Structures are given as structure tokens and as C-alpha cells.
Amino acid sequence: MSRLIGKTALVTGSSRGIGRATAVRLAREGALVAVHYAANEAAARETVELIEKDGGRAFTVRAELGKPGDVHELFLGLEQGLKERSDDTTLDILVNNAGEATATGIAPEDVTPEQLDRFFAVNAKAPYLIVQRALAQIPEGGRIINISSGLTRVANPDQVAYAMTKGAIEQLTLHLARHLAPRGITINSVAPGITDNGSAVFGIPEAVEQMAQLSAFKRVGQAGDVADVVTFLATDEARWITGAFIDATGGTLLG
């Protein structure tokens, strides 16, 4: 399909995992995609190559979020990349996907102030400031999609610090939905459950089997399962959805 021809998109953290799958799908629908990464330049380039092989258009943008000047650096790269390819800096689709978590979590008693600061800086403050900065260049019909987590709906004490940051991004979605609706811009949260992002644990069959039991479908999510939901929200077909929490956990939250 070609539902996003003529559109531009920024997907933060699209060198790997859910972000990469999202970038590939948005490009397949015709969008010019900015593939953002922090450190893994080779992986980001690989995402661009995958897109180009598919006949799509994309470019890389580097910025480590959570550091002073991060959002400014991101937008300098984004604006340059857009200008070179589309003559202006209009951004139609923003996907706040980049996020940091610890695989096994941290016991609530052991979470340090520094760890809290880092989680909030990358997972909550950066997306806020990215949205704030992007608003000057998102037109009528624009789309913002924030990647949350099923952990805002199910208790896991060792993930409390991370889950708090995802609660924050859901609040960003809720309150800005009303603010942006008069401009015809939608903003939604998508919550993945356990999703294979290519990290080592997904190569251990026993661990995968155990994680699979959490989903009603008895399998772990694939990055594409989430990316398809994000892509739908980016299209005109999703124009009537805003301020929503979209459960993309494969039924994990059904209990």
C-alpha cells in the first residue's frame, strides 16, 4: 500500500527492534523516514539499506537522548536531512520510540537517584521536548505516536522506575491530545508487551517459552506486530483516534 506518499517521518531509536520495524513499514507506505539512533551507526545504516532495498527513502540522524543539547542536535540533523531531500522541514509523523530499560529490572529498594534521573531523561523528558520542538513543523493532519509499555497496566515491582517513565509519556499523550486536536494533529500511546527486539534473551528457547505464556496468543511479540499498529495510527485511516492508549501486548493485559 502507499498510504503515506509525500509524508515525512521521524522514528527515534530506529536502528533496532520496534523502531526499525516501524521505520521500514512507514517507508514502505511511501514516507521519507529519518532513522534516529544513539550510538549504533552501523545498525542505523542497515535500517536505511533495508528501506532503500525496498524502494523507499530514508536517512540517519544521530543524537544521544538524555544529555544536554540532545533535542537540538536531533533537530539539526533532522532538518538538514529533510531539506536535502524534500526542500522544507515539514514533519508529518513523529514516533517517540527510543527508550531505555534494564532487562531484569532493579529491586525498588535498590533504585538510585541517578538511575531515576536517567530513565526520566531518556524515556520521558526527551520525548516531551521532542514533541515541543516538533510542533513548529508538524502540519494539519500530523501524527504523534508515543511508545509506552504494558507495564503501566500490570505490576512488576522490579520495573517500577521504568514503568513510571512510561506512565509519564501516557500523560503527555492524554493532555496534548486536547491541545493538538484543533490543529488536526492526533497523538496516541502504543503499549507493546514482551517483544523480540533481537536482544540475547530472545535467543534462549526456555526464556522465550516462559515469556510467551504471558500473551493470550502464547508467543512473544515480533517487532512487526507493534510496528503495524504504529503505522496504522500514522495513516489517514486513524484520523478519529486521539489521546488513546492502544494495547499492543498480544492480550498480555487480559490477565
Which residues of this protein are in contact with ligand NDP, per CB under 6 A? 13-19, 37-40, 43, 64-66, 97-101, 122, 147, 149, 192, 194-195, 197
Q: Which is nearer to ligand NDP, 40 or 235 (CB)?
A: 40
Q: Which long-range contacts (CB under 8 A, 24 or more apart) does 98-103 make?
A: 98/12, 98/13, 98/19, 98/36, 98/38, 98/65, 98/122, 98/126, 99/13, 99/123, 99/147, 99/165, 99/166, 100/66, 100/162, 101/159, 101/162, 102/162, 103/199, 103/201
Q: Is 162 a catalytic residue?
A: yes
Q: Which is nearer to ligand NDP, 97 or 173 (CB)?
A: 97
Annotated active-site residue in 37, 75, 128, 162: 162
Handedness of CA 154, 159, 164, 169 (dihedral sign): negative
CB of 152 to ligand NDP, least distance (A): 10
Q: Which is nearer to ligand NDP, 73 or 87 (CB)?
A: 73
CB of 160 to ligand NDP, least distance (A): 14
CB of 195 to ligand NDP, least distance (A): 4
CB of 150 to ligand NDP, least distance (A): 6
CB of 55 to ligand NDP, least distance (A): 23
Q: Which is nearer to ligand NDP, 17 or 77 (CB)?
A: 17
Q: Which is nearer to ligand NDP, 13 or 56 (CB)?
A: 13
Would you name the residues annotated as active-site residues? 162
